[in-house]
Structure 1
């Protein structure tokens, strides 16, 4: 069968699917040769909403490292060609990575080695067995088909309008997949790349992230024309939970030994999260530690103890800026999305509260997380109380909370002012800041008091649309993004690690706003409640700073010994509240 015939077969299938569901995107996952096939189909069907997931696409076949071997294959006698597929099987992928698929991350090192050995023993005969089932004619046909597919697809890349995600292996010994991913990103109008530095050609067969995890983390999973962080969110699976908190954030969890406390409605402080309401909407409002170190432990605790997915409001740079894809590796910024983070826009806060979610909000934002020397545990909140009014609109419960422990984990040695004194480095930081996204410059951000839907409705229903726009603009310009919170410069502070102490969290007494719709109109009352929430966050911090001195397990050494003798690290007790 010729390549064009294969293209037509796939084309018929997607057109049939498109006819039955015209408003739903169609996903094509193409591995190697399949990547050429998917791109060719997309080029011939630019009006169909396609999402292409390409793993080491063979569009780079003409630059393959194995090109010198292909002419030799045709001249090989029938009896000797069997060595070729065996050699190919060794360069196609990483056998060890393939053998580690399915091995539990929490197993002991000895158990992991035993299971890896067993998997390798079963896998290697299968690789060598390729020589017995693939005749010479099949190999020659396959190589010619790859050559045709690559040439056909590359000549039509300009016609591809589909959304494309390229997954590239740095250790691909068959194709120059890393360079090809960069070429495709430059050639295609809507292309994103994720690299995997420890994987070989057979990326989807090796021990790497689950394909659905990658699709979710890169915001490619959607039900309509545009991705929506609320409607298209899929809660993390158990495997994602384990990988995220054992592998990605495992060190922080182990080093910090987080101790959670909450306040019951009668004012009693208890260990654990019993004082935080189970039913939403709930708005968790608190202090952002240095570099947001407290985030992973907080999210993990709510999932583990209460089976609640907390939706964190995060800086837009993690979603649309350079930080989210600076190295093109599937890393922290992608895991943030897998774990339910939302861009800091009024539109998404509005949607999250309307769906009765538990939402995590840091009014101080990056200004607190990237504070300067001597500013630890100091709040940098804006003056506008808009999150109070938004919470009141939905009858949400506000839970103020404080966190301490950044000074037990690391010492801040270089802040923004220090970096600006260092030649060359200061210019790099300034250049990065100029290209970055500022909250105040976002066209979708209208302030927490003016959700996107409300703005559109106001303009549509006003006869003088220009006047309506100017009125809204005057309000937007007085948005809480003005001042040092909205103008915070993004940088990576210089830190020196310490022998770890412990993180402590205290969630204050819930503030119920059900029936307090008056706060949406009475700015003075809203401001008074705003100051109350801020004051309670400060009280939580002061309480923890004092009480942690009474914790017999504040040291990582004491916690490790206790965990080894009595329980897991997550169950080590702390001070008595």
Structure 2
């Protein structure tokens, strides 16, 4: 067992006893696990009692000795991060007035301070995640990493990936054909907030067989599983690394592993690289490799990627200048590819891919791990699309995601965000079982901007009007009447297909910095092994999962209320969202009271609301009743309904008639959406009182009547809105220079 060493601040690199440490450390900006093991005991015994160095009893800690070493010479001073001193720094600090504050006082102070709303102006949010590196940095750091080529394969942990939480799961990155271990460089900053990250580095001149690499990874997995048996271990692998992950998972079927695999090389037998293997054997050493071709294999089509960026950028002359600069920059890194994959190494790596593919395919049947496969539509190395579909059919707990415009090295594509992918697929968890509430990570500003921009056309077309009610009963424009402190439960009506959720969630986040957690149908979280073309893609629901939706259940409802969240509940559920002709704005609530007792248990404020406007955007052509008269549609509806989780099986009435179908509609010239949030209904102090069924049912009916009142108010008042029509709103924006839909006037209150 290794013990990380902590240097006192007064020690400098000029001290004589630091020289052995400097000779051992290999990488600039990276902490090697083997380095820690080699120096842990020796130097602790030699100088641990001197007072300058202190040993911390935390094995494989994320805080390690590191130095900046280029080749053999130290260029910068030795940098250290200490577990013991960090705990002191986090526990105590100095306040703004210079007085000493303890951790509890600081937390209270932070809770009372009003934090700025980072989501207030989506158009001003950054285009790129803070701290995200680009392809240029990848090549720069590869140049540093491959200079020291001694030693066997080893693990290192990037400094920018130091996790802020001790209960974060471990993520082991298994590299592809490049072997550097830097394949996740663009994602380190975000991943480091969710995982403890170790990357496997395979030196350029290393010739470790595939079976030995499997044993190396397996030893690490078993050790970490022994240390933290209740946490999952993530194996993120690309091409060759995916074969390693399969092999390790097959040898450890009872271990809690989560595989996130990019373009697995299990299809190497069908690869375009197969003909390259005999050519490398007979090709003269003086014959140069086609470096531009190798770069295109790594990143897709570079020229296409740069032209795509050109469209997204500003003025044409400036963009052309940046495009030229990017092309020059990329061309300067062609020699780096030759250093990463010289001829002998490339020959060895291709043979490694061949043996790894054969080994992984021979044991695929034994893999029991949860699996997420990512494949590229422009993969020129492997037939990744066909392979991902084959693997999904062979494994019941497997999901796939496609990236149509990306190349083989998916993680080096600027448009790919691994953290968002993992969150959208609900693959992030800290324990053996997923907890949709405690494991949830809120969207980053960049994630929200991307989601908001993809649906902005709906917001623009529907020009939502938001009305809320203050504590004194006054109705006002905006969302000032929504309680800031949770728990808060929004209860209202579904419009057709639940289209009202888009403006509902986004406007509350933009105006009030309130993230609403929707309680959704569990069918949106199901992983269907043999999805039919008529059934929606699982990726279609990634957005709502990133924004915090949870499957409807008593347990999730309890967790949301206990965590003081703002939750959104539709008692009408699927029956209301998939209603028939002439049923617009009609409520389909269960006869027996729901949600009231749970809300009262935690003193939640219930906010009834109504939404109208669906009849202004589409006209239903074929509803459920019409489609059931068509034989093939009837069979499709019945098949889809039977494959979808059933809710309220013991309920009576129309609410239990949850037939899964998609109504056929004809778009209209868009009207306007109107939201009316009624006066919050307090349940604090009513926990005992509402145990009585009659009283809880009375409150349930009161909430329902408030929703119906909100709907009636909106249907009546919208007739007075001079800007109900899309054309009138566009004219107003053109003449007044406004680009924000919430600034367009509406009816008088």
Q: TM-score range by the shorter chain?
A: 0.7 to 0.9
CA-CA distance at 1:101 after TM superposition? 9.6
Residue 510 of structure 1: aligned partner: 680
Distance in 2 separating the partners of 1:323 and 1:491: 20
Cα 1:384/1:513, change in 2 over 3 Å: same
Distance in 2 separating the partners of 1:122 and 1:226: 49
Residue 532 of structure 1: aligned partner: 702
Please provide the CA RMSD for this pair. Answer: 2.6
CA-CA distance at 1:68 after TM superposition? 2.8
The DSSP-based 3-state class of the residue aligned with 1:436 is coil
Residue 17 of structure 1: aligned partner: 224
Cα 1:165/1:276, change in 2 over 3 Å: same
Q: Is the 8 A contact 2:267 2:384 kept in 1?
A: yes
Q: Is the 8 A contact 2:396 2:529 kept in 1?
A: no
CA-CA distance at 1:437 after TM superposition? 1.8
Residue 69 of structure 2: aligned partner: none
Per-residue deviation, residues 238-266 of structure 1 (Å, max 9, x unmatched)? 1110111112x222122112111100111
Distance in 2 separating the partners of 1:333 and 1:506: 26
CA-CA distance at 1:366 after TM superposition? 1.0
Distance in 1 separating the partners of 2:542 and 2:496: 20
CA-CA distance at 1:290 after TM superposition? 0.4
Q: Is the 8 A contact 1:255 1:500 kept in 2?
A: yes
CA-CA distance at 1:294 after TM superposition? 0.3
Distance in 1 separating the partners of 2:214 and 2:733: 58
Residue 265 of structure 1: aligned partner: 471
CA-CA distance at 1:527 after TM superposition? 1.7
Q: Is the 8 A contact 2:425 2:539 kept in 1?
A: no
Task: Kindly indicate whether residue 453 of structure 2 is the aligned counterpart of residue 246 of structure 1.
Answer: yes
Per-residue deviation, residues 190-238 of structure 1 (Å, max 9, x unmatched)? 3222222332212212243411111111111001111111111111111
Equivalent runs, 1:121-140 vs 2, <5 Å: 121-122=327-328, 124-125=330-331, 128-129=334-335, 132-133=338-339, 134-140=341-347
Q: Extract unaligned runs of 5+ from structure 2.
A: 1-207
Distance in 1 separating the partners of 2:530 and 2:390: 20
Q: Is the 8 A contact 2:524 2:538 kept in 1?
A: no
Task: Kindly indicate whether residue 740 of structure 2 is the aligned counterpart of residue 569 of structure 1.
Answer: yes
More divergent stretch after superposition (322-331 vs 135-144): 322-331
Q: Is the 8 A contact 2:527 2:538 kept in 1?
A: no
Task: Kindly indicate whether residue 505 of structure 2 is the aligned counterpart of residue 307 of structure 1.
Answer: no
Q: Is the 8 A contact 2:375 2:402 kept in 1?
A: yes
Q: Is the 8 A contact 1:82 1:131 kept in 2?
A: no
Residue 451 of structure 1: aligned partner: none
Task: Kindly indicate whether residue 483 of structure 2 is the aligned counterpart of residue 277 of structure 1.
Answer: yes
TM-score, length-scaled by structure 1 = 0.87
CA-CA distance at 1:342 after TM superposition? 1.4
Distance in 1 separating the partners of 2:254 and 2:329: 43
Greater RCO structure (CA 8 Å; 6+ sep): 1
CA-CA distance at 1:335 after TM superposition? 1.4
Task: Kindly indicate whether residue 686 of structure 2 is the aligned counterpart of residue 494 of structure 1.
Answer: no
Distance in 1 separating the partners of 2:304 and 2:506: 27
Residue 256 of structure 1: aligned partner: 462
Distance in 2 separating the partners of 1:527 and 1:548: 32
Per-residue deviation, residues 279-301 of structure 1 (Å, max 9, x unmatched)? 11111000100000100110111
Q: Is the 8 A contact 1:302 1:309 kept in 2?
A: yes
The DSSP-based 3-state class of the residue aligned with 1:424 is helix
Q: Is the 8 A contact 1:101 1:206 kept in 2?
A: no
More divergent stretch after superposition (219-228 vs 555-564): 555-564
Q: Is the 8 A contact 1:317 1:323 kept in 2?
A: no
CA-CA distance at 1:186 after TM superposition? 2.7
Residue 266 of structure 2: aligned partner: 59
Residue 353 of structure 1: aligned partner: 561
Q: Is the 8 A contact 2:637 2:659 kept in 1?
A: no
Paired residue for 1:344, among 537, 546, 552?
Answer: 552
More divergent stretch after superposition (72-81 vs 525-534): 72-81
Q: Is the 8 A contact 1:217 1:337 kept in 2?
A: yes
Task: Kindly indicate whether residue 717 of structure 2 is the aligned counterpart of residue 547 of structure 1.
Answer: yes
Q: Is the 8 A contact 2:576 2:588 kept in 1?
A: yes
Residue 320 of structure 1: aligned partner: 526
Distance in 2 separating the partners of 1:555 and 1:145: 64
Cα 1:385/1:369, change in 2 over 3 Å: same
Per-residue deviation, residues 369-407 of structure 1 (Å, max 9, x unmatched)? 111111111111111112112212221111100001111
Paired residue for 1:558, among 728, 731, 749?
Answer: 728
Residue 335 of structure 1: aligned partner: 543
Paired residue for 2:621, among 413, 430, 433?
Answer: 413
CA-CA distance at 1:6 after TM superposition? 2.0
Cα 1:560/1:100, change in 2 over 3 Å: farther
Residue 484 of structure 1: aligned partner: 654
Cα 1:60/1:115, change in 2 over 3 Å: farther
Residue 465 of structure 1: aligned partner: none
Cα 1:397/1:127, change in 2 over 3 Å: same
More divergent stretch after superposition (184-193 vs 486-495): 184-193
Distance in 1 separating the partners of 2:702 and 2:274: 70
Cα 1:206/1:123, change in 2 over 3 Å: farther
Cα 1:503/1:25, change in 2 over 3 Å: same
Cα 1:507/1:116, change in 2 over 3 Å: farther
The DSSP-based 3-state class of the residue aligned with 1:517 is coil
Q: Is the 8 A contact 2:393 2:529 kept in 1?
A: no
CA-CA distance at 1:18 after TM superposition? 2.3
CA-CA distance at 1:174 after TM superposition? 1.4
Residue 350 of structure 2: aligned partner: 143
Distance in 2 separating the partners of 1:325 and 1:232: 27
The DSSP-based 3-state class of the residue aligned with 2:648 is helix
The DSSP-based 3-state class of the residue aligned with 1:193 is strand
Q: Extract unaligned runs of 5+ from structure 1.
A: 442-476
Cα 1:161/1:493, change in 2 over 3 Å: same
Task: Kindly indicate whether residue 499 of structure 2 is the aligned counterpart of residue 293 of structure 1.
Answer: yes
TM-score, length-scaled by structure 2 = 0.67
Paired residue for 1:522, among 686, 689, 692?
Answer: 692
The DSSP-based 3-state class of the residue aligned with 1:386 is coil
Q: Is the 8 A contact 2:468 2:477 kept in 1?
A: yes
More divergent stretch after superposition (281-290 vs 511-520): 511-520
Cα 1:419/1:254, change in 2 over 3 Å: same
Q: How many pairs align?
A: 536
Q: Is the 8 A contact 1:196 1:329 kept in 2?
A: no
Cα 1:344/1:66, change in 2 over 3 Å: same
Residue 152 of structure 1: aligned partner: 359
CA-CA distance at 1:358 after TM superposition? 0.8
Task: Kindly indicate whether residue 579 of structure 2 is the aligned counterpart of residue 371 of structure 1.
Answer: yes
Paired residue for 2:638, among 426, 430, 446?
Answer: 430
The DSSP-based 3-state class of the residue aligned with 1:429 is helix
The DSSP-based 3-state class of the residue aligned with 1:301 is helix
CA-CA distance at 1:99 after TM superposition? 4.3
Q: Is the 8 A contact 1:315 1:344 kept in 2?
A: yes
Distance in 1 separating the partners of 2:596 and 2:311: 44
Cα 1:331/1:568, change in 2 over 3 Å: farther
